Structure 1
């Protein structure tokens, strides 16, 4: 992805960094209960926008995306941020009214899967550019970072490991 952005002139120099993450209390869109939760907050946001006479943001296609994957996800992002704001507001209100105690848990991270790039092969439900994105909201969830080491030739390693060694003669 970084190299693709470099080719398109979006970034000057592609780089990769590794991170050790702990997702903590994760708003995990791989779990249907969180999809249902964000849908409830979408309805609240929609009502707020309507009351204010504003139009909801929309997910849109980028100009050259022949797959029409709606890569500009302004509606999704706005809905998720609205939900986080509302949860934080409830958290603050409850901690203020109860002397600092609450059962409301703030989300430390958000994880979602994105199916993009068209089908991998004819009739496939696998997309060419499927990926998972993680947003760390609580920086304490970043446990460390590192520069990835150079890759090794795994097949050569296995060939060396599994080569039959002559028996040891005593």
Structure 2
């Protein structure tokens, strides 16, 4: 008990709080509980690509395409065209990513497309169908009140599953 008085109760309390704050992030197996899932990672990548777009917030979009093994196949953001892509009639993120997927001669079968917004452009939807993308996971902003049921139904007729992304928690990554 003498060590407690000499060390100070405030120091002991500090170390107890540190111990329990670290311990609560580990599960019963000793593994972290706060890791992100593949699903969260892919949508985070689409949102990060959106931030790279030089276009206004309303027009900016990011697209990230992965295969069944979660490997990145292609990515793109709106407004991203280089001189070798002058034949593209649409500079939307989806078209850019699909063009890059085509360049590596990868089929869209069994691939999942993560986008920061639902595909609104007829050209993008046409390219999605042609690439035979299996699934689209899209982000919906809180202020987006447009009903997409008709568009989703037309894609699902062609075998493209559409899923609204539902964030389970806020993810923040700080870069120093």
- TM-score, normalised on structure 2? 0.26
TM-score (norm 1): 0.26
Structure with larger RCO (C-alpha < 8 A, sep 6+): 1
